[in-house]
């Protein structure tokens, strides 16, 4: 029997499974693979899912308009082979020139952009283990969005191979380099009712494309 644990439960010693077995058995399941262990992730809150939906809606239109690459929300697994990991971020983006890493049920390497919406049960993983793993794997931008604390952190991989915290500009806008010309008004994220997608798209000028 393979080793399956809940994210918040202590580990139990049982037989491990390969990453290939994990993909076959747990496709479309909200779970991660850590060195042979299957980690089931908790169901996300409505606020968490609303932020994912909103970001995906805006980013999808932006990425498609400028033909930038590939974008997916969870569940879709991202393999980090040299770390023996298979993580499942909330949102993944792969640049057009790296589409060869997109497989039918997983990414064979790290994405260019990863977005995690922090929840109370995931805060340790997102800020700790995943931060180090994504940095080591070469994820070029890592966005950490914490709706409970109304705090957003944007990390960009520097030439040293380390993440640097990128602050919003004087107008409260974060400017992405992985998504050229994309910007995000951070205060939008904390509104009780998120801005209407079409209103945001108009500000990007995408409706005129």
Residue 178: what pLDDT? 98
The CATH number that applies at residue 148 is 3.90.1570.10
Confidence of residue 9 (pLDDT cuts 50, 70, 90): very low
In a domain, 38, yes or no: no
**Number of folded domains in the chain?**
1
DSSP conformational letter for 15: B
Across the chain, the runs of DSSP E, i.e. the strands, are 4-6, 31-34, 37-40, 69-73, 77-80, 85-87, 91-95, 106-107, 113-117, 141-146, 151-157, 163-165, 173-175, 183-185
Q: Which structure tokens are listed for 59?
A: 């980013």
- Partners of 93 in the β-ladder: 71, 113
Give CA separation, 150 vs 10, 16, 75, 90, 188, in Å.
30, 38, 24, 18, 10
Domain range spanning residue 178? 44-208
Q: What is the pLDDT of residue 209?
A: 59
Q: Which of 125-129, 159-163, 179-183 has the lowest mean pLDDT?
A: 125-129
- The reply to whether 16 falls in a domain is no
Which strands sit side by side in the sheet containing 4-6, from one edge to the other?
A: 4-6, 37-40, 31-34, 85-87, 77-80, 106-107
Residue 15 has a pLDDT of: 65
| pLDDT, tens digit, 9 for 90 and up, residues 88-129 | 999 999 999 999 999 999 999 999 999 999 988 888 888 999
Q: How confident is the model at residue 11 (pLDDT cuts 50, 70, 90)?
A: very low
Note whether residue 20 is domain-resident. Answer: no
The secondary element (H helix, E strand) that includes residue 119 is none
Is the residue at 133 inside a domain?
A: yes
The model carries a pTM of 0.88
Task: Yes or no: say if 109 and 117 are a contact pair by the CB < 8 Å rule.
Answer: no
Whether residue 10 is predicted with pLDDT greater than 90 in this model: the reply is no
In a domain, 113, yes or no: yes
Residue 63 within any structural domain of the chain? yes
What average pLDDT does this structure show over 160-187?
A: 97
- The answer to whether position 169 is within a domain reads yes
- Closest CA relative to residue 177, chosen from 153, 141, 205, 143: 141
Specify if 37 maps to a domain: no
Phi, psi values for residue 132, rounded to 5°: -65, -40
């Amino acid at each position: 029997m393979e080793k399956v644990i809940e994210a918040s439960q202590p580990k139990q010693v049982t037989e491990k499974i390969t990453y290939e077995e994990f993909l076959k058995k747990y496709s479309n399941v909200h779970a991660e693979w850590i060195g042979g262990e299957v980690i089931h992730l908790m169901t996300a809150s409505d606020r968490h899912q609303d932020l994912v939906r909103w970001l995906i809606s805006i980013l999808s239109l932006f990425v498609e308009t400028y033909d930038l690459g590939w974008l997916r929300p969870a569940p879709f697994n991202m393999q980090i082979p040299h770390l023996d990991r298979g993580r499942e971020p909330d949102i993944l983006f792969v640049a057009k020139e790296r589409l060869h890493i997109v497989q039918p049920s997983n990414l064979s390497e790290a994405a260019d952009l990863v977005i995690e919406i922090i929840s109370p049960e995931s805060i340790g993983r997102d800020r700790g283990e995943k931060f180090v793993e994504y940095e080591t794997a070469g994820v070029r931008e890592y966005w950490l969005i914490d709706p409970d604390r109304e705090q957003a952190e944007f990390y960009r991989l520097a030439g040293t191979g380390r993440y640097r915290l990128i602050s919003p500009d004087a107008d409260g806008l974060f400017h992405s380099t992985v998504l050229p010309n994309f910007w995000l008004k951070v205060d939008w994220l904390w509104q009780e009712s998120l801005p209407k997608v079409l209103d945001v798209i108009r500000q990007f000028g995408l409706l005129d494309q």
